[in-house]
Every structure is written in structure tokens, then in C-alpha cells.
Amino acid sequence: MANSYWNYVTTLVPNTLADANVVNTSFTGIESGFALIETEFTNRKKVYYAPTQACSSKTAVTFLTLPSWTEEINVIIGQTSLIAGALTQHVIQLGTSSGVEATSYDTSIVDSVDAAATSGDRSIVAGFPIASSSNSLTLVQGQVKIMRITGNEWISSSQMTNYTAGAITSHNATGNKTLAGTLDRLVFTNLNSLLMDAGNIKVICEG
């Protein structure tokens, strides 16, 4: 009897079922129904989960040493609010090993109150906006997707909501940013550097 019914099995996670490439299949020994299967999956998807960070008592939350192979970033923001202060904008900034880049973001954002579009803004250049205005009365939550389109050029798309004074506001934003080098960091902050008092943020990188 063979030492092992399964002489060789390799299992990796593919992007899609179509990526599976069965390169060798044969029967060994007399043990009916047991096969030698060598399976190789190409274009394997890589995923990096950065530890979730709390926003409370911070003006910014920074994620460093993001993988160089990153092609897509998902930023999940849970009920972030500010302690006090004037209206401001929450933004996401990208950076390289030389530091965070806080200029030259080409962005658009549209606000809808109770499903009716009320305003738009293209003036935010210091980061990818997630909400056109926030203060101590708003809880902002939702998801931002940031994707590499080519080289060091990144595109963002976000869907956020907040609840203030009985009204639900939806924020839909897009943006474009070309970095000076390879992305390795991400910062969640607000333009007035106000302290946050609630919420968590999670970053997932895929490549």
C-alpha cells in the first residue's frame, strides 16, 4: 500500500475559478478512487488587513507601511464625529515614504438630504472628501474605495451617510490623485485639525 493516498496536493486561493490551472492528474497504486492531483492557481489575490484604529481624541488616524503591491484600498469608517468646532470636511490623504501629500487632489462631492440632491462641491483639493461638512452633531459612516488606475495615479469613490437634526444626508464623492512615488501610507483627517470623539476606521488592501 502506498505511504500516502494523496501524494501531492497544492491549494491556493485564486482570484476567480477561471484562474485554476490543473496541470497534472493521474492515479497511483491500486487504491481505487484516490488520485495524485497537482493544482496550481495563478494570479493569486493578496489581501492585507491593517489593524482597526479608534478615532477618539485624535485629529488624524494614520496607516503606515501599506504594501507596495496594493491595487485597491477599502476604507471602512464607522460613526465618526467631532468633539466640537466649526463645520469642516473629513478627507483621506495618501502618501509615500517621503510623507503625506495634502495638495492637488481633483475631487467632486454631491450631498443629498433625505434622497434629494441639495449641493455639490469641487473645491476640496487637500484630500479625497468623504463628507462636504461635518461638526459635533454629525455621525459619519460608510465606505471609501481607492483604486490604482495606472502607475502612481489613484481614483477614489465613496458613499457616506450622516444623521443630523432629524435628516439623513448622503455624501457621494469621487477623486483623482497622482502621487510623487509609490503609495505606502494613508491618513484620515479633517481640514481644520479638530479632535474626533467617536468612531473607528479600518483599511483593507488588495492586490
pLDDT at 83: 74
Indicate the Cα dihedral angle 113, 165, 91, 191, nearest 10°: 130
pLDDT at 165: 66
CA-wise closest residue to 93 among 85, 103, 83: 103
pLDDT at 189: 94
From first to last of its 207 residues, the chain has per-residue pLDDT tens of 343 322 323 333 444 434 444 444 444 444 433 333 333 444 678 999 999 999 999 999 999 999 999 999 999 999 888 776 667 888 999 999 999 999 999 999 988 877 666 667 778 999 999 876 666 667 889 999 999 999 999 999 999 988 766 778 888 999 999 999 999 999 999 988 889 988 999 999 999
C-alpha dihedral sign at 200, 51, 60, 184: negative
186: three-class secondary structure by DSSP? strand
pLDDT at 14: 43
pLDDT at 45: 84
Write the DSSP assignment of 50-114 as a string of letters. Answer: EEEEE-TT-SEEEE----TT--EEEEEEEEEEESS-S-EEEEEEEEETTEE--S--EEEEEEEET
pLDDT at 115: 60
Unique residue bearing C-alpha cell 495606472: 150
CA-wise closest residue to 138 among 158, 156, 111: 111
pLDDT at 79: 86
- CATH number for the domain formed by residue range(s) 47-206: 2.60.120
CA–CA distance from 123 to each of 106, 145, 188 (Å)?
8, 20, 18
CB atoms within 10 A of CB 119: 12
Unique residue bearing C-alpha cell 491595487: 71
Unique residue bearing C-alpha cell 462636504: 132
The residues spanned by each domain of the chain are 1-44, 47-206
Q: What is the pTM of this model?
A: 0.75
- Tally of residues, the chain: 207
